[in-house]
A and B are shown apart, each in its own frame.
Chain A
Amino acid sequence: MDIFLQLLLSGLLLGGVYGLLSLGLTLVFGVTRIVNFAHGEFVMLGMYLTYFLWQLGFDPYLAAPVVFFACFAVGVVTQHLLLRKTLTMPHLVQVFVTLGISVVMQAGAQLLFTSNFYFVRPSYGNAMVEIGNIRLPLTTIIAAVLALIGTALVHLFLKKTHTGAAIRATAQDPYAANVVGIEIKTVYAVTFGVGIGCAGLAGALLAPIYPVYPTVGLAYSLISFVVVVLGGLGSLPGALIGGLVVGLLETFSAYYISPEAKEATYFTIFIIVLLLRPAGLLGLRGSETMGANH
């Protein structure tokens, strides 16, 4: 029973971070209809930024907000320079642009930082929190709490602010938003910025738990795609639910089957869910072809 509870809590904590990671991907898709294949590379960027800030003497979790805003800026600039012109082009063009970004970022990281693994190890990095017979790493708990705070802040931003309202309106109907004075170009740039900011923030939270290396993003791209499609493309609550589901599957299968089997397990469940509910858990029916309008 203790083992079960231990796995359940670990899975939920990990899932919270996956939720934040995937929120960025689903938000970008829901608003701009761009499927960002470089999403994991921006997680990698967030992890490296955290590593270097930690080397400069910052606590990795205090560095996290800095990483968010740095990645936000990178996202806005990337959208402005590379993706803005592709918005009216066929989806395939955007696929290749984002794939290109991911290749360049991986190769760039290899060139600049070598293929070595880097570790972010704050002094409390090995501390464990004991609740009864359950022991959880402190870093995982902090990561999950901060991920949930980040997720809540993004929701508040979308719900309560002027720009957030413009983003939600554009997601539902860009033409209608445009005629009531909303600048679509700005909305797309800010949305991409927030999406990349979420990826970077997730990277900052993962850096004290997992090593950093140039191709680390691939794993996170895969996870966030599974989470987003599982939860329902473009659905924000779906990202959190999907994240928790994948976090739990990963933790339980790693223990009960084998650590190597965790990807096989969540992909199996993923295929079953798609067979039964093609639009994902919280996706509107039919949204598998056009994306949910949240």
Chain B
Amino acid sequence: MPLLQINSIKKSFGGLKAVKDVSFSIERNEIVSVVGPNGAGKTTLFNLLTGFIKPDSGEITMNGRRIEGCNPETVCRAGFVRTFQSSRVFPNMSVLDNVTIGALSRCNDVASARREALSIFDFFGSRLHDYSDRAAGTLSWANRTRVEIARALACHPTLIGLDEPTAGMNPAETNEISELIVKLRTEGVTVLVIEHDMSLVMRVSDRIVVLHHGELLMQGTPPEVRGNAKVMEAYLGNGSSSTAN
């Protein structure tokens, strides 16, 4: 049984069909990326999976349990925790408090949640330990993303969803985040990445799901996707293969 199973999920906003009949699944311990040009429906799909919007029809099953139409806190309790594209840390709270809030979803009291948060810090080397008492809103973009991932990890998810984790980062920071994504898997966490940037996706993914105009264009390994003419066309537009030469 796959960890996450998506069956013909559909969502329209008025006349706009944002997600049209998309189905795919994620196995345990996989790193799966969902890519697509702007407007492909990636963000809508991600919001559907994490309970922020309700699908018009279709099924989403997490660990055999139906989660479509559930609210975000229920999705979190089912073991699926996401981050946000614009890195939504709690800006006026310390880094430690941010991660403690995540740990509170499993701990009964604040003191044990705090200990739990500190143990999560170890996963990030010295990056978060050094900034433990700083307000999260004052950190660099890359460190904010780390705080967000740490906060999500503190909920002990089986599946973590990262929404454009390297948006706005320089190549060095992007590299570090991609190493982090691979490291998440060694901790036994399955990873779903929503990304615009193909280079990151090619490096870290076991499997890539390509969306285009709200439909599943194809799915496959990075080399399969790279060599696919339809994907090239979706990304670069019609006739691009001739003008590119």
Task: Specify which of B52, B90, B109 is in contact with A172 (CB 8 Å cutoff).
Answer: B90
Check B89–A181 contact: CB distance below 8 A. Answer: no
User: Chain B residues near A149 (CB, 8 Å)?
Assistant: none
Check B81–A179 contact: CB distance below 8 A. Answer: yes
> Would you call B93 an interface residue if the criterion is a C-beta within 8 Å of the partner chain's C-beta atoms?
yes
138-190 of chain A: CB within 8 A of chain B: 160-162, 165-166, 168-169, 172-173, 175-184
Check B76–A179 contact: CB distance below 8 A. Answer: yes
Number of A-B residue pairs having CB atoms within 8 Å of each other in the complex: 80
User: Chain B residues near A293 (CB, 8 Å)?
Assistant: 91-92
Check B84–A162 contact: CB distance below 8 A. Answer: no
How far, in angstroms, from A293 to B88 measured CA to CA in the complex?
A: 13
Would A181 and B105 be within 8 Å (CB), given that A160-B110, A161-B110 are in contact?
Answer: yes
User: Chain A residues near B102 (CB, 8 Å)?
Assistant: 180-181
Check B93–A180 contact: CB distance below 8 A. Answer: no
Stretch touching chain A among B13-21, B27-35, B148-156, B225-233: B148-156
Interface core residue of A169, A173, A181, A184 (most chain B CB under 10 Å): A181
Check A180–B152 contact: CB distance below 8 A. Answer: yes
How many of chain A's residues touch chain B, expressed as a range?
20 to 34
Would A175 and B110 be within 8 Å (CB), given that A165-B100, A181-B105, A293-B92 are in contact?
Answer: no
> Would you call B104 an interface residue if the criterion is a C-beta within 8 Å of the partner chain's C-beta atoms?
yes
> Would you call A294 an interface residue if the criterion is a C-beta within 8 Å of the partner chain's C-beta atoms?
yes
> Would you call B173 an interface residue if the criterion is a C-beta within 8 Å of the partner chain's C-beta atoms?
no
> Would you call B73 an interface residue if the criterion is a C-beta within 8 Å of the partner chain's C-beta atoms?
yes
> Would you call B36 an interface residue if the criterion is a C-beta within 8 Å of the partner chain's C-beta atoms?
no
User: Chain B residues near A175 (CB, 8 Å)?
Assistant: 52, 72, 84, 88
Check B151–A180 contact: CB distance below 8 A. Answer: yes
Complex: chain A residue closest to B90, CB-CB: A172
Complex: chain A residue closest to B106, CB-CB: A181
Q: Say how far B66's CB is from chain A's closest CB, in angstroms.
A: 19
The interface bits of chain B over 49-83 (1 if a CB of A lies within 8 angstroms of the residue's CB, else 0) are: 01010000000000000000001110111000111
User: Chain A residues near B113 (CB, 8 Å)?
Assistant: 162, 165
User: Chain A residues near B104 (CB, 8 Å)?
Assistant: 162, 165-166, 180-182
User: Chain B residues near A183 (CB, 8 Å)?
Assistant: 73
Q: Say how far B149's CB is from chain A's closest CB, in angstroms.
A: 12
How far, in angstroms, from A190 to B99 measured CA to CA in the complex?
A: 23
User: Chain A residues near B109 (CB, 8 Å)?
Assistant: 162
Task: Specify which of A161, A169, A294 is in contact with B101 (CB 8 Å cutoff).
Answer: A169
User: Chain B residues near A176 (CB, 8 Å)?
Assistant: 84, 88-90, 148, 151
User: Chain A residues near B140 (CB, 8 Å)?
Assistant: none
Check A178–B72 contact: CB distance below 8 A. Answer: yes
Check A178–B73 contact: CB distance below 8 A. Answer: yes
> Would you call B245 an interface residue if the criterion is a C-beta within 8 Å of the partner chain's C-beta atoms?
no
Check B155–A181 contact: CB distance below 8 A. Answer: yes
How far, in angstroms, from A211 to B119 measured CA to CA in the complex?
A: 56
> Would you call B108 an interface residue if the criterion is a C-beta within 8 Å of the partner chain's C-beta atoms?
yes
How far, in angstroms, from A184 to B52 measured CA to CA in the complex?
A: 13
Task: Specify which of A161, A172, A180, A181 is in contact with B91 (CB 8 Å cutoff).
Answer: A172
Q: Say how far B96's CB is from chain A's closest CB, in angstroms.
A: 12
User: Chain B residues near A184 (CB, 8 Å)?
Assistant: 73
User: Chain A residues near B81 (CB, 8 Å)?
Assistant: 179-181
How far, in angstroms, from A180 to B154 measured CA to CA in the complex?
A: 9
Complex: chain B residue closest to A181, CB-CB: B105
Would A182 and B92 be within 8 Å (CB), given that A162-B110, A175-B84, A176-B84 are in contact?
Answer: no
A residues with a Cβ closer than 8 A to B are 160-162, 165-166, 168-169, 172-173, 175-184, 293-294
25 A–B contacts, CB within 8 A, in A order: A162-B110, A162-B113, A166-B104, A168-B90, A169-B101, A172-B90, A173-B89, A175-B52, A175-B88, A176-B88, A176-B89, A176-B148, A178-B72, A178-B73, A179-B75, A179-B81, A180-B101, A180-B102, A180-B105, A181-B76, A181-B77, A181-B81, A184-B73, A293-B92, A294-B92
A-B contacts besides A175-B84, A180-B154, A183-B73, 13 pairs, CB < 8 Å? A165-B97, A173-B89, A173-B90, A173-B91, A176-B88, A176-B89, A179-B50, A179-B72, A179-B152, A181-B105, A182-B73, A293-B92, A294-B92
Q: Lowest 10 CB-CB distances: which A-B pairs, in order?
A: A181-B105, A181-B76, A172-B90, A176-B88, A178-B72, A180-B102, A169-B101, A183-B73, A173-B88, A181-B73
